[in-house]
Amino acid sequence: MSPSQSPAESARPGSGRTSDPHGWPFGTVLVANRGEIALRIVRTVQSLGLEAAVIFHPVDAGAPAVRQADRTIEIGGATPVAAYLDADAILDAARRCGAGAIHPGYGFLSENAGFARACGDAGVSFVGPSPEAIELMGDKVRARAFVQRHGFPVAPSAIEDDDPASFARRAREIGFPLLIKPAAGGGGKGMRIVREAGQLEPELDRARSEGRRYFGDGRLYVERYVETPRHIEVQVLGDVHGRLVHLFERECSVQRRFQKIVEETPSPALTPQRRHEICETAAAIARCAGYSNAGTVEFICGAAGEFYFLEMNTRLQVEHPVTEQLLDIDLVAEQLRIAAGRPLSFAQADLRPHGHAIEFRVYAEDPAAGYLPTTGPVLRLREPCGEGVRVDSGIVAGQQVTAAFDPMLAKLVVSGADRAEALQRADAALRDYVLLGLRTNLGFLRRLLHHPAFVAGDVHTGFLDAHPEVVRINRDVRQKQHGE
């Protein structure tokens, strides 16, 4: 440790680059995140010959990303989550380690326009879209209005901001079922399905309260709920020189509480023509917004093939590895090149997908208990490996899993020449995955994988509600699995 470093700051031997021999405008990238995404970004940063710095709260002191980073800066807060949301502390950490760029990962400050703008004001590159794009497309209400104004398909909806006094009446006029959403939210927080008029106003009050609690913003909108819909999203990537491409679609229909569990590409439901239409629509929306860096345009697709704009996530997605496997592209590396002002190195015609990839989110939770988050020590960890198997993990043996953060521990990504081979490899990988010390959803994922409807690709966003047998497990079997 050098005299200029505080006790809360450390560097690995040989770190501390102030310039980069490969022509990067920054030599150090600060990763403003934690867990599996922080480690995943660190590895790409280092593979590009750049220095990787990581912030960490003391509860994450032994995490893999902290161990792997060239430089680490401890930050504090009233709670662990608050530490990773402290924009001033993160910018101070960037200054202390000489970082010329900040990668926010996903969650936390990744879609905070104020933070992106503060990075620019501090002379630090924000590895993501412009603050203006975040303000436009990251706000669900503004994004929907923008998309509709440009002639793209959106579901019938009512927006509270238009006239708060008539909001409930306008919502009823759309017809039921309705889906309530917070304008500033994500991750399923505050979302509700309303099927009867008598439920509407109480559910609006509950959704508004959740929006204020999670996002500091109680604004709502409602839209017609499409029954048994598929959730299709399209990865887009644009540079600051005006070139933008799509990187094909991902299907994210298997969800619990509006939060994704399994993602795959290509979608088993789309015809080549429908795939082309959805992907080109996503790219056109992003171009209209003048979008740069990585983002995802999401759609709801009905049984008849109709599709509607849902939202745009102005950041890297949790499920980005399946796109990387499909195209042999490192999306984080592309993000960094774009943040450095470089043009995209490929055109749309250069992108040729191959095979099939599926991602399974490994959660510390008990599906049979309503997906209740679980805690405890990681007593033993053995992650699967082999051809077509990738694990993005944020834990190590001996680590304590707490309730301080989201319960996702890792992502298992499998790929194969086709969907059948990917499913076969997924089965072997889940069978070989050992994570002892706390309850996880690994057994649930294996049951899901073997369900005939899932094998057939016949899924929708209400799949788990329609098939409770995937969630339920005989208590004797459960006790045997967990050694109770």
Spell 365-374 as b/e; 16+ CB within 10 A means b.
bbbbeebebb
pLDDT in tens, the chain (484 residues): 333 344 366 776 444 444 455 689 999 999 999 999 999 999 999 999 999 999 999 999 999 999 999 999 999 999 999 999 999 999 999 999 999 999 999 999 999 999 999 999 999 999 999 999 999 998 888 998 999 999 999 988 888 888 999 999 999 999 999 999 888 766 677 889 999 999 999 999 999 988 887 777 888 989 888 888 999 999 999 999 999 999 999 999 999 988 999 999 999 999 999 999 999 999 999 999 999 999 999 999 988 888 999 999 999 999 999 999 999 999 999 999 999 999 999 999 999 999 999 999 999 999 999 999 999 999 999 999 999 999 999 999 999 999 999 999 999 999 999 999 999 999 999 999 999 999 999 999 999 999 999 999 999 999 999 999 998 764 444 444 444 3
Task: Give the closest residue to 345 by CA, choosing from 353, 354, 336, 356.
Answer: 336
Among all chains, which residue has been given the structure tokens 């599996």? 36
Q: What's the predicted TM-score (pTM) here? A: 0.88
What pLDDT shows up at residue 8? 64
The whole-angstrom separation of Cα 374 and Cα 416 is: 32
CB atoms within 10 A of CB 446: 15
The whole-angstrom separation of Cα 25 and Cα 47 is: 16
The whole-angstrom separation of Cα 199 and Cα 33 is: 39
Query: Domains in the chain, please, with CATH?
Result: 9-127 (3.40.50.20), 156-224 (3.30.1490.20), 230-482 (3.30.470.20)
Q: In what order do the strands lie in the sheet with 71-74?
A: 9-11, 71-74, 51-56, 28-31, 101-103, 125-126
